[in-house]
Each structure stands twice: as C-alpha cells, then as structure tokens.
Amino acid sequence: MTRRFCLAFIPAMLASILATATTTLAEETGDADTAAFVGTALVFPAVGFAGGGGNFSFASSTCTLASASGLGGEAGEPTPDAELPPTSTCSVNASGTYANIVCGTGIAAGTGSLTEGAGSDSYAAQFSIFFTAGVGTLLGVATESEPDGGGVAGAQPVVGTAVLIPEVDPLPPAGMCFDQFTVAVSLTTTA
C-alpha cells in the first residue's frame, strides 16, 4: 500500500469511527462535535535530531466534522436507536511553537480555528500536543461561535490524537530531522 493511498482513507476512516463516538458523547452531554483532518505542518527552524524549538503553521487539506446535539432528551440518557450525526466538510488552520526533545518527541502548543464547510459555524481553540515517537495527545479548550442544541457556551474541553508523518527529504541538512510533516488529527469537543 502506498503512503498516498493510506493518507486518502484516514479522514474517512476516522470520521466513521468518530461519528459513533460523537453520538455517544452527545448522549452523555447533550452536545458533541468531532473532527478528523489531515494537513501539512511547516516548522521553522527545521526540527533537529535532538533539542531545539521554533514555530509551526498548519493548514488542513481534508477535514470532516460530525456534529451531534440534543440527542437522548435529558443529558446523560442514552438513546439506543439514535442515528449517527450528520457530517460536513471543514477546514483547520493553526500556528504556534514547538519544543523538541528528540525527532518526533516533544510538545507543540498554539491556537487554531476550525470552520465548517458552509462557513456557518466555527471554533477557536487553544491547545497543546504532547508527542512521543510521532504520536501525540491533544488537550485544550475550544469555543464555538454559534453554540446550539445542548451545548454549553464558553470555553469547553477539546481532546484528541495527532500523528506525524514526516515528509522525507533525501538529503536533509546535517543534524536536522524534518521541516515539514503531514499530520493526521482526530479531536472531540463539547463546545
């Protein structure tokens, strides 16, 4: 299987899995939004093999958002026959700083925005991603521009997972790891 073939199926696979998780969370809290996206992160200066830090920027190339609200009547009451939430396209942009321990292990922190495809709704977030060997845990807070359903206004938790897929440079500069990554992310919030 080629790398490009695998990357094409990541958002669809994550969206399918996360739609079910979104429904479950919405049944428990009254509102949940889950996004699965893939994009490119540029870092400057390039990530070294050990130590260092710098800035990053990220833009999604594909993004799917599943939104569920008001499922199950009372928050906390499961609805066994609930349908999967509707999905839509979206876009994500983020920027911030990173601190590298060893190539693929470190911390990235910043701010970002997610905009629904129709542009009718958006989220602003502050986040940190703790990476180990290229796999990261994303933690932060998000605020929805137009809270609906059972959602709570104001900053709400956002959690997720991010995977770094390095763009291989056949002749990387000495001591450098990478300066560009493909990143696959899944996240959920009750914002």
| Rounded CA separation 47/100 (Å) | 7
Instruction: Specify if 81 maps to a domain.
Output: no
Instruction: Specify if 139 maps to a domain.
Output: yes
Q: Could you tell me what percent of the chain has a pLDDT over 90?
A: 27
Instruction: Specify if 86 maps to a domain.
Output: no
Instruction: Specify if 151 maps to a domain.
Output: yes
The pLDDT of residue 128 = 94
Q: What's the rounded mean pLDDT across residues 166-174?
A: 69
Instruction: Specify if 148 maps to a domain.
Output: yes
Instruction: Specify if 84 maps to a domain.
Output: no
pLDDT tens profile 110-159: 999 988 876 667 889 999 999 998 899 999 998 887 655 445 567 788 89
The pLDDT of residue 135 = 92
Instruction: Specify if 83 maps to a domain.
Output: no
**Burial label, 9 (beta-carbon count in 10 A; 0-12, 13-18, 19+):** exposed
| Rounded CA separation 182/173 (Å) | 19
- H or E stretch covering 62: strand 53-69
Q: How many domains does the chain have?
A: 1
What is this structure's pTM? 0.75
**Burial label, 55 (beta-carbon count in 10 A; 0-12, 13-18, 19+):** middle
Residue 47 has pLDDT above 60, yes or no: yes
Assess whether the previous peptide bond of 78 is cis (omega < 30° from 0): no
Question: Which domain range does residue 102 map to?
Answer: 3-76+91-189
Instruction: Specify if 179 maps to a domain.
Output: yes
